[in-house]
Amino acid sequence: MGGPSQQTIVLNGVSYRWPSRPVVVVCIDGGDPAYFDQCLQDGSVPNIRRFMADGFSAVAEGVVPSLTNPNNMSLVTGSPPSIHGISGNYFLDPDTGAEVMMNEPEHLRSSSILAEFSQLGAKVVAITAKDKLRRLLGKNLNLASGSMNFSAEKANLCSIEENGLDDILSLTGMPLPEVYSAELSLFVFEAAIRILERDRPDVMYLSTTDYVQHKYAPDTPEIDSFYAGLDAAFGRLEALGAVVAITADHGMSDKSRPDSTPNVIFLQDELDREFGEGSTRVILPITDPYVVHHGSLGGFARVYCYYGMTPGAVIRCIADLPGIEAAYDKVSACAAFDLPFDREGDVVVISDAGTAIGASEASHDLTALEGHRLRSHGGIAERRVPFILSAPLSGEYAARANAGTLRSYEIFDYAINGTA
């Protein structure tokens, strides 16, 4: 454990000291504060209750779009998307016109806190539930220093060369979990606990999947059971001597009608009716390989204009649609949400908490949502996330936390620099 005490890294304007004990940062995918509020009321998360009492607790703001890839990359770089470049799960490449998943390391424009520490010889462990984040999180990790990077989804394929270890199934004693399951997230924690016991890494980053939160509201027994499992894992990590820092990539909102059908504005259909086909193109950055969760319906859309169509005309067309919270031109959107200008659409459209945005109705397969209410994210309403530390803050950091808006991407700074 640990390197010379004088060693620090500096990344995106923040200096991080060498951790004096293991630091475990947890990103609960879809971990809306309402889930913790309900579980605290139900008494199913005693370790979280203790962390909140003895350590630090607040509600922070994540980045918008409130999606998995942008927020995970903000957490591990300590910066907004304008710096690291990951502005969605999915984007329209302006150079090629191709629609591309933002899962590859070449899309990431910043180094990460994980990579910087590992390059100095720290043992860094990054574990994600779904494999889509693994390559982004693992960019420039020095596996030769004892660092590791793997996903629960493909834990059976781990190798020393690719992941830094090859024995994770036997180490956990768990079978390979199904992708669409609570067990996928719980596997992340069991693996982390076993690695912390065996190798005592300096820094760990654990990212779950939001399958459970997409499927269940806070006041359900399934949520109580899932969060009780998370809570037990948090307690075990702390008992092994780690500072445990907990946040989320985004919240979660019910976006269904009273009859439980999805409440959706099919934006491409609306624009085609008004301006004709081909004049605009709607891109939904929530899109990823795991659409069973949400049918690619979220709270944030990008519109690209063609053949003389103007952003102003698009904004005027949609501004009064029921369920639309805001519409911005490119310059205004980048200024409002600190987004990379060259990866932004001509118009950004954000729905309210109870409404989802789709492209054309024909382009969405919603059969997997039958029997369940649509719960999703992406907009301003889902940017509120928990910010919980198992250890108390120094006076300096406590004052900072109370002085202004707390950003979720400050979590490593607070966990490493702000605790004793």
Rounded CA separation 287/101 (Å): 8
Strand partners, 305: 280
How many other CB atoms are there within 10 angstroms of residue 41's CB atom? 11
Rounded CA separation 245/25 (Å): 5
Question: Contact at 8 Å (CB) between 272 and 75?
Answer: no
pLDDT single digits (tens) 192-218: 999 999 999 999 999 999 999 999 999
Q: What is the pLDDT of residue 79?
A: 98
How many other CB atoms are there within 10 angstroms of residue 307's CB atom? 9
Q: What is the pLDDT of residue 48?
A: 98
Strand partners, 243: 23
Query: Nearest Cα to 60, choosing from 31, 24, 39?
Result: 31
Rounded CA separation 122/111 (Å): 15
Tell me the C-alpha to C-alpha distance, in Å, between residue 148 and each of 29, 113, 191, 202, 205.
21, 14, 11, 12, 10
**Pick among 3.40.720.10, 3.40.50.11440, 3.40.50.800, 3.30.1360.170: CATH of 8-251+383-417:** 3.40.720.10
Q: What is the CATH number of domain 264-376?
A: 3.30.1360.110
Alpha helices in 9-112 (DSSP H): 33-42, 46-54, 68-77, 81-84
Q: What is the pLDDT of residue 343?
A: 95
Q: Which residues of the chain have pLDDT under 50?
A: 2
How much is the pTM?
A: 0.96
Query: Nearest Cα to 62, choosing from 94, 30, 20, 90?
Result: 30
Domain residue spans of the chain: 8-251+383-417, 264-376
Q: What is the pLDDT of residue 286?
A: 93
Strand pairing category for 264-266 and 300-305: unpaired
Tell me the C-alpha to C-alpha distance, in Å, between residue 205 and each of 113, 133, 137, 188, 360.
10, 12, 9, 10, 37
Q: What is the pLDDT of residue 4?
A: 53
Same fold, 8-251+383-417 and 264-376: no
**Total residue count of the chain as it appears in this document:** 420
Rounded CA separation 379/325 (Å): 9
pLDDT single digits (tens) 108-138: 999 999 999 999 999 999 999 999 899 999 9
Pair of tokens at residue 217: 């509201």
